[in-house]
Each structure stands twice: as structure tokens, then as C-alpha cells.
Amino acid sequence: MHFPIIKLEPIDLPREDWDIDLNYEDCCLNRHTDYYGDIYNEEDRRKVITSDWFRELLDGIATIDTEKETITYCDKETIQNTLYDYYLQQAKDLFEQAGQQQISGYDFRCAGTKFRRFDTLFVEDYGMTSLDFVEDAIYYAGETRQIGNIFDAHW
């Protein structure tokens, strides 16, 4: 299955200075992929930025400005509440699956790495799962990052 790795860049970094390679020794990227590295072309990159799924992934975490191609992190309280609601729902879902004897270690791993079940990975200074990314969002409350290159990954 193919999915994107989204590279976030500082808001003031010129496009010609964006990263065009990822760290091939990054333990997160290596753990959650069997291949990564090809840069999305501009059309595919725009499809990600303007997609409903990307907006759904970041709902309650950050807002997307599709024209400026940036994300702005929500305030700390909103992010914390979004995470609390997510954790609560995951706990309920896992408990229900367990009660029906339909649970596996994979279900726990997904709940602990894939925020809202999105495989999407992020890179700022290092690779992050979607859940790592949203958990770190609290530290960037109110800040804006530009969406840099988007890389193809496979699992």
C-alpha cells in the first residue's frame, strides 16, 4: 500500500531550499515502511494538500491553508481535547473488540501509531507516525509550517 510522507518546512524557507531527500537511516521511517523516497509530482502533491482525508487527519490539530500550502497548529487546549477524545474512543473500541474476542496486537499497534487510522508519516527534524505528529503538535500550538515536498512510501 502506498501512502505519503509529508515534509514540513519552516514558514520562511524558500522552496528551492526544501529537502529533496529523506534520511534513509531514520528509524521511524524504516520501521513503518519497506520503501520510501520518490518525491510526488506537483499535481499529486496538490491532491494531498487539498484532499478531504488530509483535512480529516488534521481536524482539531491544525488548519490547512490550501492556497499558501501551510498548516497552522490549533491552540493547545483544542489539541489536548482532540487527543483526549481520540484516546477515549480508541479505548472504547479496543475494549469492545476484546469483549467480542476480535482483538489483536496489530489493533493495539495501530491505535498507538496511526492517528485516526492514517498511515501518513510526517518529517520535520525526524520521522513521525501520524500519532507522534499530533502528540507533538501541542508544543507548536499557534505556529505555522509550510508543507514541503511529499514523498511516496510503501508498506
pLDDT single digits (tens) 50-88? 999 999 999 999 999 999 999 999 999 999 999 999 999
Say what angle helices 76-99 and 105-113 make with each other, to 10 degrees.
170
pLDDT of residue 38: 96
Q: Using CA of residue 49, residue 55, residue 57, residue 58, what is the dihedral sign? A: positive
pLDDT of residue 95: 96
Contact call for residues 91 and 146 (beta carbons, < 8 A):
no
- Alpha-carbon distance of 29 to 42, in angstroms, equals 22
pLDDT along the chain (155 residues), means of 10: 97 97 96 96 98 98 98 98 97 96 93 96 97 97 98 96
pLDDT of residue 58: 98
Grid cell for residue 154: 510503501
pLDDT of residue 27: 97
